[in-house]
């Protein structure tokens, strides 16, 4: 169990690092584009600015949905674990607080990971796409 938790933590940390690098790049590119466009943006600029809003809404909706679904799965797993401890003769001894804490920790990491995936995916893809485009 500890190895799995560590691997999950490292994956979340890696995604958070990539997101921390990609997001400022995207913001810098788009702010520069807004400054260059001025009060009369071109059709290409307007398309990019509209996309900017729509993709954030979509990524956040996907993130919230993924986190909610993962929370349901985690709650079911925790409930099943608690019920097993009541019905299994081998588990009638007192449940381990460390095991319960580990289950809750892993559930939280799972929820966080699922919530970060859509935002990470969109931000990294935007950073790559915008790095290839010219401002004017």
Q: Model confidence at 65, in pLDDT bands (50, 70, 90)? A: very high
Range of lowest pLDDT (6-10, 17-21, 74-78, 105-109): 6-10
Return the closest-CA partner of residue 109 out of 16, 28, 18: 16
Residue 80 placed within a domain: yes
Domain that holds residue 68: 2-37+61-132
Kindly tell me if the per-residue pLDDT of 48 is higher than 70: yes
Kindly tell me if the per-residue pLDDT of 61 is higher than 60: yes
Q: How many domains does the chain have?
A: 1
Work out the angle at residue 2's Cα, subtended by the Cα atoms of residues 14 and 84, and round it to the nearest 5 degrees.
125
Return the closest-CA partner of residue 33 out of 127, 129, 121, 130: 130
Residue 8 placed within a domain: yes
Residue 25 placed within a domain: yes
| Average per-residue pLDDT for the chain | 88
Q: Model confidence at 1, in pLDDT bands (50, 70, 90)? A: very low
Q: Model confidence at 89, in pLDDT bands (50, 70, 90)? A: low
Residue 107 placed within a domain: yes
Q: Model confidence at 76, in pLDDT bands (50, 70, 90)? A: very high
Residue 71 placed within a domain: yes
Identify the residue with better confidence: 6 or 79: 79
Residue 39 to residue 45: CA distance in whole angstroms? 11
Residue 50 placed within a domain: no
Q: Model confidence at 82, in pLDDT bands (50, 70, 90)? A: confident
Residue 46 placed within a domain: no
Residue 54 placed within a domain: no
Identify the residue with better confidence: 99 or 61: 61
């Amino acid at each position: 169990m500890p190895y799995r938790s560590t691997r999950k933590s490292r994956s979340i940390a890696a995604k958070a690092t990539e997101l921390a690098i990609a997001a400022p790049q995207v913001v810098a590119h788009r702010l520069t584009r807004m400054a260059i466009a001025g009060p009369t943006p071109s059709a290409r600029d307007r398309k990019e600015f509209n996309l900017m809003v729509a993709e954030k809404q979509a990524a956040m909706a996907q993130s919230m949905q993924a986190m909610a679904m993962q929370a349901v799965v985690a709650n079911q797993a925790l409930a099943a674990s608690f019920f097993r401890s009541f019905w299994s003769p081998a588990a009638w001894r007192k449940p381990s607080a460390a095991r319960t804490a580990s289950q809750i920790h892993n559930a939280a990491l799972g929820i966080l990971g699922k919530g970060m995936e859509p935002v990470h995916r969109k931000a990294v893809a935007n950073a790559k796409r915008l790095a290839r485009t010219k401002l004017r």
